Chain A
């Protein structure tokens, strides 16, 4: 297609882009991550996926992470839930340590059955962190899609709710309505 040719880089453009890219490296993006997440490292995201997908596993309907729950939590840790950042950093580290201790492998490499055992252990050993993750997972899964979770309203459809609901509005002539 024509577009491709047109968009090909000239040498001068290449240099300019390079200057800018250098600037980007020097300043660094505020998110701190060049990866896929606002707050998490890719490794943390994988660890959290292991936990969240036990809290809401896949059955005929998507798991927590498949519905975007990690995105939800990531976005909020960068915004409204900034106060929970340390809890996530420490909690995920502990969960990973637990996995290494119990199964001699990283949390992300453990099997789903091992994940289940770890989540049950976290629930007992670190109930504050577990409650936080559970609460945020439920919010992400059953809340509004605009925040990154509940992708395509999948949990609402699962419950048999039309999304968006079809609902007509009144067509009254208000002049005929009662007035006080």
Chain B
């Protein structure tokens, strides 16, 4: 197989961008993806089998067959979990990764989110840290992501966002009914509601049409191709250069090291499960926080017996996602108008600045509801079954608003990804094993956030409310998983440096949510994309024709 300049592992939010940036700069790229290139046709708006409701499996991977993981519970008991189960912490396995089927909220983190330790100090038992780069360093790349991927929305209603040089490229979608109900209530409370940013066309953009406002959005691939992910933006550009070879259904086994301890490619199982080698000058790992860590940990060698880049036992630690809390409000008038994507209005007044709390999070109305979502979302006291439940479904399905938000998680070193000593996947590779839990201060913040969501709903006229603020005793990762290959200046406390290069091996890069030191109080997709533009920009800048200038 012909040697290439770069192997990029994973064609998701980050990998697609890295491949496109490298390929357009003239590097030859092998973009290796374990999943398929799915389309909306592979799901056809199935309420029971998508990436959000997975009772009959994941529409966009991985399959329940042959892809187990192990979750260790609070008592230390490990159990096998399937991809369609919540404890699996699944993202997706396909071209586009999570961005094929995400809700597509496209947030910039706030300047304070990159300086959490300096702003608040680290709570006891936490590993709260500052990023080695700042909001200002990333701002140009947030802008690049917003314009290349295509974001609609309008930040003008809030003063709390970080400085930005220009507006979003597309106006917001026309508000749904919930927007109107929640907007006036928020203003009465002295808050600053606005049209949240979405990677979704509101008007024609990039050669594709606008959203048709259907009910099947978050968790589904878009049938009118109005949702913007790496699969319909950067990856086609990368392929068009002729420099990028996308290989689907190929599972990377390990990163290969030469005698001098530098990477010289990867070995992978191709679609027919034959082991192949792809030699390269550099390797970029973009497999998402769990799978990137797994690949490094599975790449054991004489020099790195505990896994590549894991000399100080940092790979896989600081696993975090978001602690989602909020409230449901039940109204005596119709609030539901069957106009997707549903999530439309947000406040970021509560992300920072509450005395006694290390941060907070964005609050927004939820994505449009499918009936199956409502089954366990009825007002407190509703019978769980029988005529009472059925009647309540009729009473409340169109009269419920859910306000929720991703509470920023306080990281800990003990929440981690390791590889299981015995369980293997269908390729015979040791699988991800989750250990640890969420730092308790996160729950304190989440509780306050839920109360705030409830207050907003009450002001909007809710006649009943219920709060959702659990205290799970396992790790939290899910589709917002991050943190496992922390970016930092100290090689003993992080895995990659500020340009996403392994401290230990100068031609291996980790570019995805793994490098997030903290994960903001926002959906992470746009930050993953901005970091990918930033890091691949640095990579190209330092490229010397045949290798990386270390």
A residues with CB within 8 A of B = 54-57, 59, 61, 76, 80, 116, 119, 134-135, 137-139, 142-144, 146-147, 155-156, 158-162, 165, 167-170, 172, 174, 176-180
Contacts and interface: CB of A to CB of B under 8 A. Distances in A.
A168 B212 contact: yes
Nearest to B150: A180
Contacts of A162: 338
B390 A57 contact: yes
Contact of A59 (B385, B390, B398): B390
Main secondary structure of the interface of B (DSSP, over half): loop
Nearest to B203: A177
Contacts of B397: 159-160
Interface in B203-223: 203-210, 212-215
A177 B384 contact: no
Contact of B386 (A54, A139, A172): A54
Contact of A159 (B169, B213, B389, B398): B398
A76 B204 contact: no
Nearest to A161: B338
Contacts of A144: 45-48
A138 B373 CA distance: 10
A162 B374 CA distance: 17
Given A57-B390, A169-B212, A179-B205, A142 B375 contact: yes
Given A142-B372, A144-B46, A180-B147, A55 B385 contact: yes
Contact of A176 (B46, B47, B204, B384): B204
13 contacts: A54-B385, A56-B386, A59-B390, A134-B384, A135-B55, A142-B375, A144-B45, A147-B48, A159-B371, A160-B398, A161-B371, A174-B207, A180-B206
B204 A174 contact: yes
Contacts of B57: 80
B205 A55 contact: no
A125 to B, nearest CB: 16
Interface residues of B, number: 42
A168 B498 CA distance: 48
Nearest to B375: A138
Contacts of A137: 385
B185 interface: no
Nearest to A135: B55
Contacts of A138: 372, 375
Nearest to A134: B385
A134 B393 CA distance: 15
Q: 4 tightest A-B contacts by CB?
A: A177-B204, A143-B48, A170-B209, A142-B371
Most buried by B among A57, A80, A170: A170
A178 B48 contact: no
B391 interface: yes
Contacts of A155: 371, 393
Contact of B213 (A76, A80, A158, A167): A167
Contact of B148 (A54, A55, A176, A180): A180
A159 B385 CA distance: 17
Interface in B111-164: 147-148, 150
B214 A80 contact: no
Contact of A174 (B148, B208, B338): B208
A169 B397 CA distance: 26
B25 interface: no
B224 interface: yes
Nearest to A171: B209
Contacts of A179: 205-207
Given A55-B385, A80-B57, A146-B46, 15 more contacts: A56-B389, A57-B386, A57-B390, A59-B391, A135-B55, A137-B385, A159-B394, A162-B338, A165-B214, A167-B213, A167-B214, A168-B212, A172-B203, A177-B207, A178-B205
B77 interface: no
A139 B391 CA distance: 17
Contacts of A59: 387, 390-391
Contacts of B150: 180
A179 B203 CA distance: 11
Given A177-B207, A178-B205, A179-B207, A139 B338 contact: no
Interface string B269-282: 00000000000000
B178 to A, nearest CB: 16
A139 B209 contact: no
Interface string B32-71: 0000000000000111100000011100000010000000
B187 to A, nearest CB: 30
B172 to A, nearest CB: 15
Contacts of A176: 204
Contact of A170 (B210, B385, B387): B210
Most buried by B among A59, A138, A146, A147: A138
A170 to B, nearest CB: 4
A170 B212 CA distance: 7
B142 to A, nearest CB: 14
Nearest to A54: B386
B224 A169 contact: yes
A176 B210 CA distance: 13
Contacts of B55: 135, 139, 143
